Amino acid sequence: MIGLDTALGEITLVLFTTLAPAGAMALLLMGLPILSGRASWAEVRRISTYLCLPLIVAMVGLVASATHLGSPANALYVFAAVGSSPLSNEVLCAVVFLMLGGLYWLYSFHRAPSPRLLRLWIGAIDLAALAFIASVGLAYSARTIISWNLWEVPAAIAANALMGGPLVALAGYAAGRCASLTNRRARHLIALAAIALTANVAVYGLQGVDLGNMGNAVASATDLVPAYGAAVAAFALLGAAGIVVAWRTTRNLPTDGTPPADAGRFRLVGRLCAAAALSLAAIFVMRFCFYLAHLTVGLGV
């Protein structure tokens, strides 16, 4: 396959764009009960403690992408181009988001953290998460790479975050035995993931049509990703499997958010982690295809 070397060479960025937006969206969704002021103080402490799960997901993605720099010293050159380079803007947004999230998590262990400060801090984290997800989508809009300079690229990143994030958030709620994990909230998060999956299948379908009309003197986009249709089908099946697993796992949750016993909790967490993993695997497939379809306007791929 012509573009396979390119995609394998960018595997760390595949991981980054798979994990980081989903982790950012999961943290945003998990923090909503705190932001709304509806969570009890005990619930605020539980949610704050287990925000580490989406933070870890996002951090793993960022650490993977950092290896792409070659040397840590190259990070200075990345930050020097903030404002003029979409890629530098992406890195800055990632650092700000993770810094705010990490410091919030550490502060939440204070003996007497300020409830008002926690709410304001969560609001700032949510804004940083949205900016970060948007920056990831816009980082690859390069006019010289015609197969990436499409409106479907940032749309897919946003839909991926909305598909994977809710399932990661559900796993975080379950791990913390949070009262916020009610039957109603689980249904809402799973419905959000299902809507995002449906929207993204449509986006990838339209992107496939656009790729079919692209080529240069060396190759066409369809040459680079000959199994694009099969990849979209795999994306849909894996994503749907994750949603079904999450739905079957949470359909009998109590309406009042009563935490399950320890044995039930471990089962619940394991199944929701599996649901999130299926969703992230679906995203990984299409992110890999994205790097396969690296097609420039010049005499190269």
Mean per-residue pLDDT, 11-21: 92
Categorize the per-residue pLDDT at 4 as very low, low, confident or very high, splitting at 50, 70 and 90.
low
pLDDT-above-90 percentage for the chain: 59
Q: What is the pLDDT of residue 76?
A: 59
State the residue for tokens 């379950």: 174
pLDDT tens for residues 251-263?
888 877 676 666 6
Buried b / exposed e along 233-265 (16+ C-beta atoms within 10 A): ebbbebbbbbbebbbebbeebeeebebbeeeee
**Type of residue at 163:** M
Q: Is the pLDDT of residue 128 over 90?
A: yes
Q: Which of 4-8, 33-37, 70-74 has the highest mean pLDDT?
A: 33-37
Q: What is the pLDDT of residue 143?
A: 79
pLDDT tens for residues 168-226?
999 999 998 888 888 899 999 999 999 999 999 999 999 999 888 877 766 777 778 88
* Single pTM value for the model: 0.91
Which domains, and CATH codes, for the chain? 4-292 (1.20.1630.10)
Whose CA is closest to 269, among 254, 239, 249, 240? 249
Q: Is the pLDDT of residue 301 over 60?
A: no
Average predicted confidence (pLDDT) for the chain: 87
pLDDT tens for residues 92-124?
898 899 999 999 999 999 988 999 999 999 999
Both structure tokens of 119: 């709410």
Both structure tokens of 34: 């705190």
Q: What is the pLDDT of residue 168?
A: 97
Q: Are residues 94 and 84 in contact, defined by beta-carbon separation less than 8 angstroms?
A: no
Q: What is the pLDDT of residue 111?
A: 87
Spatial neighbors of 95 by CB under 8 A, at least 6 apart, are: none
- Which carries the bigger pLDDT value, residue 91 or residue 167? 167
